[in-house]
Amino acid sequence: MLWLIDRILESGAGVLAGEYTPRAFYGDTLFDLDRPRGLPIGNLTSQFWANVYLNPFDHFVKRELGCLAYLRYVDDFILFSDDKAEVQAWLAAIVTRLARLRLTIHPGAHARPVAEGLPFLGFTVFPTHRRLKRRKGVAFVRRYRQLRRAFHSRELSLEQLTASVRGWINHVRYGDTWGLRRALLASHLI
């Protein structure tokens, strides 16, 4: 089992090396900046390993911080409180705790009212509804054009095209996207 785990983790080595600037953590040496990082993107085990790795963090948020309303999916998480000062204190504690795990928080993370909408899993989540982030819709339109071109040039089968579109629909259906899906797919028929 350990051999298999090593092979899976090694398969992600260098995949996004140019995308990130190495970050030094307290106690690092110069050699630590060259250490391999991350999981293989898209690998089916990445969600599992994120849950294993962040399990102690979940316990920290619930037990030590005392956060009663907390959501996490892989590396995306939200904490809820009625007290802005409490959320800011939690953020400082979380930054410190994640540094122990050699992780950082996105620089745009900050306390905000839920009425403004919270970014989570490709959506902006409001108390009454969820909207797909604009860039996610734009990215799909571009991808769909590429898929249609590949289909017309016979590089892609109808089944492959359909599977890709269904995958996107299965994700965005969790938001209020009926009108968006109808508009995008009706205006871009095969």
Residues in the chain: 190
Mean pLDDT confidence for 3-8: 86
pLDDT band, residue 25 (cuts 50/70/90): confident
- pLDDT at position 39: 66
Identity of the residue numbered 8: I
pLDDT band, residue 57 (cuts 50/70/90): very high
Q: Which two tokens stand for residue 92?
A: 């400082």
Selection from 21-30, 46-55, 92-101, 111-120 with the highest mean pLDDT: 92-101
pTM of the predicted model as reported, rounded to 2 decimal places: 0.72
> Edge to edge, what strands does the sheet with 123-125 contain?
118-120, 123-125, 130-132
Q: Which residues make beta-bridge pairs with 76?
A: 73
- pLDDT at position 61: 96
Contacts of 82 (CB under 8 A, 6+ apart): none
Is the distance from CB of 70 to CB of 62 less than 8 angstroms? Answer: yes
Q: Exposed, middle or buried: residue 20 (CB in 10 Å: 0-12, 13-18, 19+)?
A: exposed
Query: In whole numbers, what is the pLDDT of the chain averaged over residues?
Result: 86
Give the rounded distance of the alpha carbon of 16 from its chain centre: 15
112-145 per-position pLDDT tens digit: 888 889 888 889 999 899 999 999 989 998 999 9
Identity of the residue numbered 181: R
Strands 118-120 and 123-125: antiparallel
Measure CA of the first residue to CA of the last residue in the chain; give whole Å: 45
Nearest to 35 by CA among 10, 54, 7: 10
Is residue 46 predicted with pLDDT exceeding 90? Answer: no
Is the distance from CB of 137 to CB of 97 less than 8 angstroms? Answer: no
148-184 per-position pLDDT tens digit: 999 999 999 999 999 999 999 999 999 999 988 888 8
